[in-house]
Amino acid sequence: MYPWAYILFLVSVVKVQGQDFAWLGGNKLSDKPSVIDLPGGRSGTGVWQDSNNTVWMFGGVGMTSVATTTGGSVMLNDLWRFALSNQTWRQLHPGTVSNLTVATSRSPQIPRPRQLPAVCGTGHVMVLFGGLAEDDEALGDLWVFDTGKKVWRLLVDSYSGGLEIRNETDHDTTRDVGPAPRGDSANWCTSSHLYIFGGTNSSSFLFSDMWRLNLKDFTWEELKSSQEAPTSLRNHQTADYPQGRNGAMTWLSEMETSRTLYMFGGNVLSKYPRDRHIASGYTSDMWEYTVSTDSWRYMSGSTQPGQPAAYGRLGEMSSSSVPGCRRGGAAWSDTKHLLWLVGGEGADEETPSTVRSAKLLSDLWRFHPMTGEWEWMGGSKKGDTPASFKKKGRLMHTGLPGGRLDAATWKEANSEAFFLFGGLGHDGVQHDGYLSDLWFIDVSATITYDFYVPAVYGFAIIFGGVALVLCLSVMALYARDRSKPPQWRRGGAGTSYSQLHDSDT
Ligand SMILES: *[C@@H]1O[C@H](CO)[C@@H](O)[C@H](O)[C@H]1NC(C)=O
Ligand SMILES: *[C@@H]1O[C@H](CO)[C@@H](O)[C@H](O)[C@H]1NC(C)=O
Ligand SMILES: *[C@@H]1O[C@H](CO)[C@@H](O)[C@H](O)[C@H]1NC(C)=O
Ligand SMILES: *[C@@H]1O[C@H](CO)[C@@H](O)[C@H](O)[C@H]1NC(C)=O
Ligand SMILES: *[C@@H]1O[C@H](CO)[C@@H](O)[C@H](O)[C@H]1NC(C)=O
């Protein structure tokens, strides 16, 4: 654009609301290897936050501690710890794909490298189930990690999977019942259970079953609603059971009297494998699962895949606002039980195509479960917007994380501050790759800031104003003409005007 065009753009300023992003650290560039106090770029990592404000992070796909000769990414099985108190990382073990140390050859067993596992935990115990290994090979193993003793233990090698092996007469085999190998499932981690819904396996099969793992005795139970969902309907939309999918976003709402799980979007078409990045299989439907009644309820959004976004006005709740279809967004809930969503891979306001790759999104949304309405809260309305890093550690409305999918997220206990780490997406120089940047979003306050309006609107306001003033002036002149006599006379005998007037006649 020419310089004058910029000048025209800065004509008027209005106040709008939005949320600020702060870049806390990590690399601005993608595909950076791990160092001892900073994990390498990665996506689909497994994250669990314990009650001590410590975040445990396992594996994913991305960069190990050595730059590989091919420069490519690998599946990881390293373990990291992030302390929220001082916002520092520490590598606990570098995994078996790393060349950094020989320590791992002495450690008895650690889980295979993988991405998108289901991770949860309680007290000192972190639980890891399944995930996708190289070439999307689905894993079905169950591990626990003792955060005190820092050791892994394998509980079950792999479940044969699902209902098929259920045998009520043989108790030995029923003990082995658990979900079929899978990854990229929808996961919820409560204080007592790990819930999983759906996911995918190596042949791109999309599951629609729902299981929960008891965190005390590590036994799985397939939920009744899942068993009762008619098999023929499992991969189709029904009013009261979501269709099978992977890459869905999830939220957990735990109140004193009730526990509710929410699920949004994901991919519902198995003909598009994950690595095709085709948005026409992604949905934008919001579902609610009530634990006490073991039932699903459709809330809002489109169950038809491939729908674009309707942003509406920034910071305004509306029944017509809806995020574009997507998978792999980052999600968290705040202390007011509102559900937040940032980014993912999918569609902005443009309808996605079946031939072009999905866009990487960096929009920020808020969902109100009471009304079922979405609210666009900030970030970019346009997909594939590059990252804007600005000053490190400062909350700024001009800061913007690059569009990404399968990032990790966690939050500070009892605060409205959220962390966003890594993912596959756009870095600071408009390259796509595995990210290791750490962002912070404080949603405790709605921030009001200046927003420049394009010249067209500015000129419309100015010209409109001028026209109005002219119009009023003409009317005033006309009115003055008509009302002249009473006005002159109003002064009465004591005024010079009436004297002048009188002397004239
Ligand atoms: C580890 O180092 C060896 C020798 O330096 C190299 O051949 C190998 O590719 C490295 N492995 C990885 C995963 O980078
Ligand atoms: C940060 O906090 C953690 C846990 O409280 C502690 O282990 C670690 O040493 C601290 N790191 C720094 C650099 O202070
Ligand atoms: C929390 O941290 C304290 C002090 O480091 C430790 O004694 C305690 O075991 C930790 N609790 C959990 C659940 O990790
Ligand atoms: C269940 O287990 C019993 C005892 O091992 C066996 O006889 C029976 O065939 C099994 N049924 C099925 C459906 O696998
Ligand atoms: C994926 O799951 C489906 C349904 O259970 C099964 O038929 C298929 O064989 C599985 N694929 C692989 C590679 O295990």
**DSSP states of 53-99:** SEEEEEEEEE--SS--TT---EEEEEEEEEETTTTEEEEEE--TT-S
**Distance (Å, whole) CA 186 – CA 130:** 12
Q: What are phi and psi of 414, to 5 degrees?
A: 55, 30
Sequence-ordered list of residues with C-beta below 8 angstroms from that of 285, at least 6 positions apart, any chain:
242, 264, 265, 298, 299, 300, 301, 302, 303
Average pLDDT over residues 409-435: 90
Instruction: Quote the DSSP letter at residue 396.
Output: B
Query: Is a pLDDT exceeding 50 seen at residue 165?
Result: no
Q: How far is CA 347 from the centre of its chain?
A: 14
Ligand 3 pocket test target in 50, 52, 85 with most atoms within 8 Å of CB? 52
This model's pTM is above 0.85: no
Nearest to 352 by CA among 269, 245, 243: 269
Distance of CA 171 from the midpoint of ligand 4 (Å): 10
Query: Is a pLDDT exceeding 50 seen at residue 433?
Result: yes
pLDDT digits (tens, 9 = 90+) for 373-390: 999 998 999 999 989 888
448 compared with 337, residue with greater pLDDT: 337
Task: Give the closest ligand to the alpha carbon of residue 174.
Answer: 4
**Distance (Å, whole) CA 416 – CA 443:** 6
Contact 287, 296 (CB under 8 A): yes
Query: Is a pLDDT exceeding 80 seen at residue 127?
Result: yes
Average pLDDT over residues 246-260: 92
161 compared with 92, residue with greater pLDDT: 92
Query: Is a pLDDT exceeding 60 seen at residue 112?
Result: yes
Average pLDDT over residues 418-439: 93
Counting from 1 in the atom list of ligand 5, the atom nearest the Cα of 164 is 5
Distance of CA 69 from the midpoint of ligand 1 (Å): 8
Counting from 1 in the atom list of ligand 4, the atom nearest the Cα of 165 is 14
- Residue indicated by tokens 């209902």: 163
pLDDT digits (tens, 9 = 90+) for 185-228: 999 999 999 999 999 999 999 999 999 999 999 999 999 988 87
Residue type, 291: V
Q: What are phi and psi of 394, to 5 degrees?
A: -110, 130
Query: Is a pLDDT exceeding 90 seen at residue 3?
Result: no
pLDDT confidence of residue 392: 86
Contact 429, 437 (CB under 8 A): no
CB 86 near ligand 2, within 6 Å = yes
- The mean pLDDT value of the chain amounts to 83
144 pLDDT band (50/70/90 cuts)?
A: very high
**Alpha helix ranges (H) inside 238-307:** none
Domains observed in the chain = 19-446 (2.120.10.80)
Average pLDDT over residues 108-121: 92
Query: Is a pLDDT exceeding 50 seen at residue 499?
Result: no
CB atoms within 10 A of CB 173: 13
Instruction: Quote the DSSP letter at residue 240.
Output: T
Nearest to 354 by CA among 274, 276, 302, 406: 276
| Biggest CA pair distance of the chain | 124
Query: Is a pLDDT exceeding 70 seen at residue 307?
Result: yes
